[in-house]
Structure 1
């Protein structure tokens, strides 16, 4: 019998790609999404890609009544939790909405899961929990500290999961919580079909959607924030990972949890990155090279809260869940451009 997985935020960028991988790996899925930063069209396209229609509820994770109805209607085996607000700049302007949506939303989800004895969760965390790392590459054992409200919500949620797991151990629970906390680096790219990809509301916050919108002529010029960092060319260095590799990391994490007996307590934090750091200017040059598109850019002042360099040591992921990134930077660029070219206005 197929395992049924509840996917919060499953219509979003990473969520939709993970839904494709779940369906392709024989799972039943139920998507819960409030569509505040995603489109229903992505679910239709998941069906086009996989030939399978995902179950869908338009609901907010802060709405306990709605969540209870969903858990009553389906026998859920595990949850993958993506739902959350995710823009660093916006989080500095609207911290309360980030704390309510991300932290309180997760609390409501955990309470509901506990009520229905569903105690396996894969959580979408972030490399922002490392703050400004003292060195790179970053290991999971590095000190945790966040430099903005978005990062703090991810860090607080991680702490909540650790506390909830520890409580089960203290209380001698016969079915303790099983958590896989996935700390993403910088997901880019799109599904090779060109049918699903990143479709941000308004002006993109992230480099690749901004860069590709400049290439297609939707935006006039790319701002490169800071060229005076202590890096190879002065621009910020990040670990960019193909979104399909990232999605497959969730499948491996889920299989890892499902492979454990119900009486095994688990709370593991795992980096999902490639281990390679690329600067902003390297990204621009590679994109131009691969797509043959012009990308006008200008150097702008540093952005508050940005760190100089951030890339993963991903060896624990391979050791613990048998996962490693396979797609290279050129593939990420080809897939980003195919999505942008085929969908100049995103899902609209």
Structure 2
């Protein structure tokens, strides 16, 4: 099998690419390098360009007529940025994704795996959600994912396209072999901000302490990116079986199945790194919710998938990646090392 991975030079796309190759699946990468890194793509046939460039897509399929599936990981993903620049998110995550679908259909590639988000779910009280939980996105980023899912479902019902939408919770960690990791030296998610506080000595902000959760801080489900990559490989390997009897898009949650509050994340981080972190309390951010964690029942049933990495391993792998990132990417990164100490 050969697959096209859009956004394959990004954090998740590059990790999926490595996992595919490890599983004997050939990979072709398309990425505009807006946030991705060419260093992640150099091992694969790589096309630098836009997913909405229909001529480029035609060339890719002409060069690689044996591509049997598309894994669509190309997107803008920063919630706060989407609030300040919503049009940019709708253009990239909806309009251009729609153009991509038209291109893959025109080229006879009927299998489509979409990198979606658990942010599409209605805000709750930090509890468990499954694929039937209400959809009520709270940010332009989340809206863009939900809107494209709606379009994709309609397209699947009307054309030869079959699609699986994988709704990620909160990816952490890195490729265990350190072939790739987060492209940014300063990720915007909570774990990235913790590493920034660790390396610079600046306080970590707990944004919102009045959520309806067990300790007032938001709940997140942190799933290791290598587990996510494994789920993609399983989705590709079982694609035809999963979609055979479906009249629409198939949706699957991917999370650890465990909710972790921000305060619990801080304590776990301190235990893994062996250092105390200065913490300050701040107001809620626009677009934030109390959070949720995944029910993985459908992932187990359809993909045979169970997450195997812990949050502690995700933190350790992130630390290992950030420690070598500047060498591998020839750019500045935080000074991160594992002390080897654990605090009970």
Asked if the contact 2:255–2:295 (Cα under 8 Å) also holds between the matched residues in 1, the reply is yes
Q: Which residue of 2 aligns with 1:49?
A: none
Asked if the contact 1:18–1:248 (Cα under 8 Å) also holds between the matched residues in 2, the reply is yes
Q: Partners in 1 of 2:96 and 2:7 — Cα distance?
A: 12
List, as ranges, runs of 4+ consecutive aligned residues in structure 1 with deviation greater than 4 Å: 258-266
Q: 1:263 to 1:116 in 2, by over 3 A?
A: farther
Return the offset for 1:119.
0.6
Please give the secondary structure, in 2, of the residue aligned with 1:309. Answer: coil
Return the offset for 1:257.
1.0
Q: Partners in 1 of 2:165 and 2:48 — Cα distance?
A: 25
Q: 1:277 to 1:345 in 2, by over 3 A?
A: farther
User: Does residue 339 of the first structure (1) align with residue 321 of the second (2)?
Assistant: yes
Q: Which residue of 2 aligns with 1:55?
A: 45
Q: Which residue of 2 aligns with 1:194?
A: 178
Q: 1:232 aligns with which of 214, 221, 231?
A: 214
Q: 1:72 to 1:195 in 2, by over 3 A?
A: closer
Q: Partners in 1 of 2:282 and 2:243 — Cα distance?
A: 53
Q: Which residue of 2 aligns with 1:115?
A: 106
Equivalent residues in 2 for 1:88-127 (5 A)? 88-127=79-118
Q: Which residue of 2 aligns with 1:291?
A: 273
Asked if the contact 1:216–1:340 (Cα under 8 Å) also holds between the matched residues in 2, the reply is no
Please give the secondary structure, in 1, of the residue aligned with 2:12. Answer: helix
Q: Partners in 1 of 2:108 and 2:41 — Cα distance?
A: 28
Q: Which runs of 5+ in 2 are unaligned?
A: 332-344
Q: 1:129 to 1:253 in 2, by over 3 A?
A: same
Return the offset for 1:296.
2.0
Please give the secondary structure, in 2, of the residue aligned with 1:192. Answer: coil
What TM-score comes out, normalization by structure 2 length? 0.90
Q: 1:261 to 1:9 in 2, by over 3 A?
A: closer
Q: Which residue of 1 aligns with 2:165?
A: 181
Q: 1:345 to 1:92 in 2, by over 3 A?
A: farther
Asked if the contact 2:154–2:248 (Cα under 8 Å) also holds between the matched residues in 1, the reply is no
Q: Partners in 2 of 1:246 and 1:162 — Cα distance?
A: 22
User: Does residue 84 of the first structure (1) align with residue 67 of the second (2)?
Assistant: no
Q: Which residue of 1 aligns with 2:191?
A: 208
Return the offset for 1:261.
8.7
Q: 1:12 aligns with which of 10, 13, 22?
A: 10
Q: Partners in 2 of 1:238 and 1:162 — Cα distance?
A: 27
The answer to which of 59-68 and 31-40 deviates more is 59-68
User: Does residue 140 of the first structure (1) align with residue 124 of the second (2)?
Assistant: no
Return the offset for 1:212.
1.3
Asked if the contact 1:177–1:266 (Cα under 8 Å) also holds between the matched residues in 2, the reply is no
Q: 1:126 to 1:211 in 2, by over 3 A?
A: same
The answer to which of 256-265 and 222-231 deviates more is 256-265
Return the offset for 1:194.
3.2
Asked if the contact 1:223–1:297 (Cα under 8 Å) also holds between the matched residues in 2, the reply is yes
Q: 1:69 aligns with which of 31, 34, 59?
A: 59
Asked if the contact 1:64–1:112 (Cα under 8 Å) also holds between the matched residues in 2, the reply is yes
User: Residues 143-201 of structure 1: CA distance to partner in whole angstroms, max 9, x if unpaired?
Assistant: 21211111111001100111011113xxxxxxx32111000000001122334211337
Q: Which residue of 2 aligns with 1:21?
A: 19
Q: Which residue of 2 aligns with 1:50?
A: none
Aligned length: 329
Q: Partners in 1 of 2:23 and 2:7 — Cα distance?
A: 19
Q: Which runs of 5+ in 1 are unaligned?
A: 45-52, 169-175
Return the offset for 1:127.
0.4
Please give the secondary structure, in 1, of the residue aligned with 2:238. Answer: helix
Return the offset for 1:291.
1.6
The answer to which of 35-44 and 79-88 deviates more is 35-44
Aligned residues: CA RMSD: 1.9
